[in-house]
A = this chain, B = another copy of it.
Amino acid sequence: MTVTTPKGFLAAGVASGLRRSGRRDLALIQNMGPKSTFAAVTTANRFAAAPVVYTRKIAASGYAEAIVLNSANANACTGPQGDADTLSTAAKVGECLGISPEHVAVCSTGIIGRPMPMKPLLSGVELAARALSPDGGSDAAEAIMTTDTRPKNVAVNLGSYAIGGIAKGSGMLAPELATMLCVLTTDAVLDPREADEALTAAVNESFNRIDSDGCMSTNDTVVLMASGASGVKPNADEFVAALTRAAHDLAEQLVNDAEGASHVITVKVEEADSESGALAVARAISRSNLFKTAVYGNDPNWGRILSAAGTVGSDVAAYDPADIELFINDVCVSRAGVLASSPDKVDMSDRCIEVRLVLHSGPHAASLLTTDLTHEYVHENSAYSS
């Protein structure tokens, strides 16, 4: 149930030596065709890393036969040397697999601002090329982990074709993606335009709806590779729905494994006058450190939720603050802007918390997944240099 579940894909995950620990740190995935359709959605961060800038060009061509991903070093803020190193990496993959380097995508994650150690990386590519196998998906998922505590895999079987995927990411999860790499594969028959549209739609409803610490990274990349090996041309709507399901499953796995989180929080904003307004209010709540620390303390602090919601202007989300309802774990804690039930009735002991704010101003809704702000988050991010 991984990136090699759909037909036409080989994968490997090896220890190149980028990590001194000897853990797997390099993943290679090859699309054996007959088609090599490729699409990517990448970070909006203006300090986009060298492999991101490079992979955007590959995606613009619509085709890639392989993708190589490394952890431990992000090759970000590395200037022209970073660009040259990315090209060398692609060239090495091309050489090992006997394909054009122009059909090789590259992703990196790890520490920012340090030159890529090319010697272990290039020998790792050789190792991975020899290790490619139809069962290598889960090794690849392991190789892209950074502070993740577990690998993330998914597969959706649609009978005549399948979708698979791997992802990594645990800190810096935020919309418009977040030190987050994801490779989705399918054996459906897609042309580049179809792949691009489906991927954009799926990312928008999945990875762009998680927000663990509001930080968008320099390296975020989600790609879709379509081999066409099933011979099945999918129904477009069905495919988008299935791809969204796979992406959403991986996004949930990311939030569940977010750095130092003790609660996973679903923030739902309902009956808003627009979806974008609902999303802005959900985002404001998801990013309130005061709210997130309260959840860590098992405190159903509804005042902090309303206070965070209230920072979004009426030009963005029109509603009457005196006509709202706020539920925490299905207990209505506030109605019409004042206390309803006692917050003492809210059981915060479960790992999953749901906040639901009903604005009574229209038919639109949006929801986000976030996490609490904990001592472990502070510890991990003050001690770990990335």
Residue of B nearest to A319 (CB): B46
Per the bound structure, the CA–CA distance linking A46 and B250 in Å amounts to: 36
- Contact: A321 with B46, CB < 8 Å? yes
Confirm or deny: A99 has a beta carbon within 8 angstroms of a beta carbon on chain B: no
Given the known inter-chain contacts A112-B304, A296-B378, A378-B378, please indicate yes or no for A79 contacting B313, CB distance below 8 A.
Answer: no
Q: Mark A111-129, 1 if CB is under 8 A from B, else 0.
A: 1111000000000000000
Q: Which residues of B contact A339 (CB under 8 A)?
A: 77, 113-114
- Contact: A78 with B338, CB < 8 Å? yes
Q: Which residues of B contact A301 (CB under 8 A)?
A: 385-386
Question: Which stretch, A56-64, A157-165, A202-210, A215-223, touches the partner chain B?
Answer: A215-223
Q: Smallest distance from the beta carbon of A317 to chain B beta carbons, Å?
A: 9
Q: Smallest distance from the beta carbon of A284 to chain B beta carbons, Å?
A: 10
Q: Smallest distance from the beta carbon of A372 to chain B beta carbons, Å?
A: 8
Residues of A66-92 at the interface with B, using a CB-CB cut-off of 8 Å, are 74, 76-79, 81-82
- Contact: A215 with B307, CB < 8 Å? yes
- Contact: A216 with B307, CB < 8 Å? yes
Q: Which residues of B contact A290 (CB under 8 A)?
A: 171-172, 213, 215, 381, 386
Residues of A372-386 at the interface with B, using a CB-CB cut-off of 8 Å, are 373-375, 377-379, 381-383, 385-386
Confirm or deny: A32 has a beta carbon within 8 angstroms of a beta carbon on chain B: no
- Contact: A288 with B382, CB < 8 Å? no
Q: Which residues of B contact A112 (CB under 8 A)?
A: 303-304, 306-307
Q: Mark A16-30, 1 if CB is under 8 A from B, else 0.
A: 000000000000000
Q: Which residues of B contact A311 (CB under 8 A)?
A: 44-46, 176, 215-216
Confirm or deny: A33 has a beta carbon within 8 angstroms of a beta carbon on chain B: no
**Secondary structure at chain A's binding surface: helix, strand, loop or mixed?**
loop
Q: Smallest distance from the beta carbon of A124 to chain B beta carbons, Å?
A: 23
- A303, A312, A334, most chain B CB atoms within 10 A: A303
Per the bound structure, the CA–CA distance linking A237 and B173 in Å amounts to: 47
Per the bound structure, the CA–CA distance linking A301 and B112 in Å amounts to: 9
Confirm or deny: A234 has a beta carbon within 8 angstroms of a beta carbon on chain B: no
Per the bound structure, the CA–CA distance linking A373 and B111 in Å amounts to: 21
Confirm or deny: A242 has a beta carbon within 8 angstroms of a beta carbon on chain B: no
Per the bound structure, the CA–CA distance linking A287 and B287 in Å amounts to: 10
Given the known inter-chain contacts A113-B302, A288-B215, please indicate yes or no for A293 contacting B172, CB distance below 8 A.
Answer: no
Per the bound structure, the CA–CA distance linking A304 and B172 in Å amounts to: 10
Confirm or deny: A297 has a beta carbon within 8 angstroms of a beta carbon on chain B: yes
Query: What are 26 of the A-B contact pairs (CB < 8 Å)?
Result: A46-B310, A46-B314, A74-B303, A76-B303, A77-B303, A77-B306, A77-B334, A77-B339, A78-B338, A79-B336, A112-B303, A113-B338, A114-B339, A213-B290, A215-B288, A215-B304, A215-B308, A218-B310, A289-B373, A293-B377, A293-B381, A294-B381, A296-B382, A297-B382, A299-B382, A377-B378
A residues near B, CB below 8 A? Answer: 44-48, 74, 76-79, 81-82, 111-114, 171-172, 176, 213-218, 287-290, 293-294, 296-297, 299, 301-304, 306-314, 321-322, 334, 336-339, 373-375, 377-379, 381-383, 385-386
